[in-house]
């Protein structure tokens, strides 16, 4: 929604939502003080208040405002590893062993269903009540505006359900668009009586029923986001950029159809987005600077040419952990350590998490490569110039045959090589401190099973600006959907439809993403760089083929599959990888790749681990809700 509106309504309390309205906007004769449709809403501005709430909910504290990124998603998909080990619930997520009382897992359930409720209230009550109140006096312009707002709400409801399915459904794939009767999630359909606790105690619908419901919502959103007179597909510009448009809904529809293996329909949706949305890939330098809220690149971020669903975050003086805010506090969890002259360095946030070491090998970085440091553990420590020179050559040279994937430095800050502003000078980022088992912190060379590198996570960190900035006021936008992902989704559709590992159309879309990473033209083939096969029995990507130290016979599937690898590398740290892990059945592969964390061994005993446990509070409240298998 508009950047100048959303700030006022991030808070979920009705007292904030309805400031300035009549005191009798609720009917106290009805249970739970439900809204009185005879009084509210009275204007389009009041209608907007309600649409702002599901938008704002996306960066609520439970979701992309704080908990949902570092504390939750970065643990289950092993984007990060833990420095702080004092919270068992966090350790459980890192080891893929949460239980039904895990509050970090439960926070996602609570936050996502709140968004469902907000969107549903708008769809089933606010718009119908307003239309009935205005009757024939509603102008043509307001009628069209309401139509678009309703389309946005249908998308937002589907978006929240999409996340719930990927996290909590017992299974997610419906083979061949047949049936899957395993429990999905609870659907609060329009027949549920608001305010009736008994009626709200619904059982979990089946996996197939849930995806069909989400597909229907998205098709409805697309129909509403068209001008009924001209058929024009709605897009937004100016201060409205960031609102959901036709192509955002069509992209999520395509993704949802993939779960039912409706490959032809999904392909057609993605093709329309590619051909008609007007989106284009950003240059690599703009892509590199997309994630950090740097004022120097603010215009590029606002006018992002590849974003289809951009979650607008506006840096402000608000503490995003303490109430209504346009900002986000996600980077508070994984703020980098930087050189302030003290042996361990300093970090302005919690400093709880850093990049899991195995991710370096997946990007093609030599995992045993570590600097020669003089005077370790002292304020006067220095790094050998030869190490810095060789690393800078890897980062900037982009020699395809020998250097790591350049996206490594989009996703991570390299200790000693990357730097941040500290007051008036640039200082190096240090390996993660406060007990991380790196050679740097131990002040001695460590064995191969000890974490060696401790890179900082870069996406959504603000530190190419100023190290002292308050991470509770984070200001870098999130991108739930970008054009490169559409290319990769489209490639998968072509691959599945042809069944051919050499499918030319699939390879071309994979290579469009691949070429951008290496700063090459996406319009022409690149001999020796382009993939010429999607999946192979031999290594074809940058990923380390045999990363598991206890099972040298294990092969990482991302080393053998260009689609898998490019999806992982392109979207690293964007909270999307776990959804692909589930849909592609890569759980055992991921446990083998990451193998261990500072919290303990990462094991995969059963495919029941794909589904998180239903939060115990929901089971206690709703006797008709069944728990997932294995919990």
pLDDT of residue 191: 85
Q: How high is the mean pLDDT of the chain?
A: 88
Q: Average pLDDT in the 378-406 region?
A: 87
317 or 506, which is more confident? 506
Report which of 107, 213, 108, 95 is spatially closest to residue 164, judged by C-alpha positions.
108
* pLDDT tens digits for range 590-623: 999 999 999 999 999 999 999 999 999 999 999 9
pLDDT reading at 434 higher than 70: no
* pLDDT tens digits for range 473-493: 877 888 999 999 999 999 999
* pLDDT tens digits for range 443-470: 566 666 565 688 999 998 876 666 677 8
Sign of CA dihedral 77, 83, 88, 89: negative
439 or 302, which is more confident? 302
pLDDT reading at 92 higher than 80: yes
CA distance 17 to 10: 9
Report which of 70, 599, 33 is spatially closest to residue 334, judged by C-alpha positions.
70
List the structure tokens of 470.
Answer: 């308050």
Report which of 51, 224, 59 is spatially closest to residue 122, judged by C-alpha positions.
51
pLDDT of residue 466: 67
* pLDDT tens digits for range 344-359: 788 888 989 999 999 9
385 or 583, which is more confident? 583
The answer to which of 187-191, 435-439, 531-535 has the lowest mean pLDDT is 435-439
567 or 60, which is more confident? 567
72: Cα separation from own chain's centroid: 11
* pLDDT tens digits for range 26-69: 556 655 456 676 777 889 999 999 999 999 999 899 999 888 98
pLDDT of residue 524: 83
**438 φ, ψ to 5°?**
-95, 160
CA distance 81 to 70: 10
The answer to which of 140-154, 290-304, 317-331, 471-485 has the lowest mean pLDDT is 290-304
pLDDT of residue 320: 82
Q: Average pLDDT in the 231-250 region?
A: 93
CA distance 476 to 458: 11
150 or 351, which is more confident? 150
List the structure tokens of 29.
Answer: 């004769």
pLDDT of residue 441: 62
pLDDT of residue 2: 35
pLDDT of residue 447: 64
**281 φ, ψ to 5°?**
-65, 140
H helices present in 331-415, as ranges: 358-362, 385-397, 408-411
What percent of the chain is helix, strand and coil (3-state, nearest 5)?
45, 10, 45
% of the chain exceeding 70 in pLDDT: 87
409 or 302, which is more confident? 409
pLDDT of residue 35: 63
In the numeric block, the tokens 């929240």 are attached to 160
pLDDT reading at 10 higher than 60: no
Q: Which residues contact 299 (CB under 8 A, 6 or more apart)?
A: none
Q: Read out DSSP for 403-455?
A: SPPTTHHHHEEPTTTSEEEETTEEEEEEPP-TT---HHHHTS---TTS----P
2 or 431, which is more confident? 431
User: How far is the CA of 491 from the CAs of 169, 362, 481, 488, 568, in angstroms?
Assistant: 26, 22, 16, 5, 14
List the structure tokens of 476.
Answer: 């870098």
Report which of 481, 582, 77, 579 is spatially closest to residue 249, judged by C-alpha positions.
481
CA distance 73 to 141: 42
Pairing of strands 419-422, 456-457: unpaired
**DSSP-derived secondary structure letter, 524:** S
pLDDT of residue 386: 87
List the structure tokens of 128.
Answer: 């119908």
376 or 527, which is more confident? 527
pLDDT of residue 3: 35
CA distance 560 to 477: 33
| pLDDT band at residue 24 under the 50/70/90 scheme | low
% of the chain exceeding 90 in pLDDT: 64
């Amino acid at each position: 929604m508009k950047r100048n509106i959303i700030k006022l309504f991030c808070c979920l309390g009705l007292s904030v939502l309805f400031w300035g309205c009549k005191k009798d906007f609720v009917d106290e004769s009805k249970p739970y003080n439900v809204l009185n449709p005879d009084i509210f809403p009275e204007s389009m501005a009041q209608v907007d208040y309600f649409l702002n709430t599901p938008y704002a909910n996306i960066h609520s504290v439970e979701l992309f405002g704080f908990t949902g990124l570092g504390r939750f998603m970065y643990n289950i998909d092993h984007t990060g590893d833990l420095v702080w080990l004092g919270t068992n619930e966090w350790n459980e997520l890192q080891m893929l062993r949460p239980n039904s009382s895990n509050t970090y897992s439960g926070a996602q359930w609570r936050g996502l269903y709140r968004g469902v409720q907000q969107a549903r209230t708008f769809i089933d009550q606010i718009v119908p009540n307003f239309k009935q109140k205005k009757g024939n006096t509603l102008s043509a312009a307001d009628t069209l505006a309401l139509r678009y707002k309703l389309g946005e709400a249908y998308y937002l409801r589907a978006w929240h359900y999409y996340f719930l399915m990927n996290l909590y459904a017992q299974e997610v794939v419906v083979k061949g668009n047949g049936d899957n009767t395993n429990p999905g999630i609870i659907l609060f359909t329009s027949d549920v009586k608001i305010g009736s606790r008994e009626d709200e105690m619904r059982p979990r619908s089946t996996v197939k029923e849930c995806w069909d419901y989400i597909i229907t919502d998205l098709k409805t959103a697309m129909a509403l986001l068209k001008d009924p007179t001209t058929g024009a597909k709605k897009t937004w510009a100016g201060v409205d950029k960031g609102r959901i448009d036709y192509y955002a809904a069509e992209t999520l529809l395509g993704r949802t159809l993939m779960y039912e293996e409706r490959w032809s329909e999904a392909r057609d949706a993605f093709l329309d987005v590619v051909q008609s949305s007007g989106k284009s890939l950003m240059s690599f330098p703009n892509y590199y600077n997309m994630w950090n809220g740097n004022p120097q690149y603010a215009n590029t971020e606002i006018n992002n040419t590849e974003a289809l669903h951009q979650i607008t975050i506006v840096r402000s003086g608000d503490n995003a952990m303490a109430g209504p805010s346009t900002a986000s506090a996600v980077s508070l969890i994984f703020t980098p350590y930087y050189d302030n002259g003290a042996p361990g360095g300093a970090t302005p946030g919690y400093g709880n998490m850093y990049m899991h070491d195995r991710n370096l090998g997946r990007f093609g970085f030599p995992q045993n490569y570590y600097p020669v440091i003089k005077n370790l553990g002292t304020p006067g420590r220095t790094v050998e110039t030869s190490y810095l020179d060789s690393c800078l050559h890897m980062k900037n040279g982009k020699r395809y045959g020998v250097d790591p994937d350049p996206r490594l430095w989009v996703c991570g800050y390299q200790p000693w090589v990357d730097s941040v502003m500290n007051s008036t000078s640039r200082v190096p980022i240090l390996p993660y401190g406060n007990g991380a088992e790196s050679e740097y912190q131990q002040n001695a060379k460590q064995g191969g099973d000890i974490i060696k590198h401790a890179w900082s996570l870069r996406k959504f960190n603000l530190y190419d600006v100023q190290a002292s900035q308050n991470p509770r006021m984070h200001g870098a936008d999130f991108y739930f959907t970008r054009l490169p992902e559409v290319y990769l989704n489209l490639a998968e559709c072509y691959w599945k439809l042809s069944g051919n590992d050499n499918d030319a159309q699939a390879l071309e879309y994979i290579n469009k993403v691949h070429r951008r990473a290496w700063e090459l033209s996406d319009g022409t083939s690149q001999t020796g760089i382009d993939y010429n096969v999607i999946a192979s029995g031999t290594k074809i990507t940058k990923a380390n083929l045999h990363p598991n130290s206890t099972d040298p016979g294990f092969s990482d599937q991302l080393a053998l599959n260009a689609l898998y690898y490019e999806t992982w590398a392109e979207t690293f740290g964007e909270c999307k990888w776990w959804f692909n892990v589930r849909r592609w059945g890569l759980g055992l592969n991921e446990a083998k790749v990451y193998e261990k964390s500072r919290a303990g061994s990462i094991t995969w005993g059963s495919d029941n681990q794909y589904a998180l446990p239903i939060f115990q509070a929901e089971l206690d409240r709703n006797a008709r809700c069944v728990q997932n298998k294995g919990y």
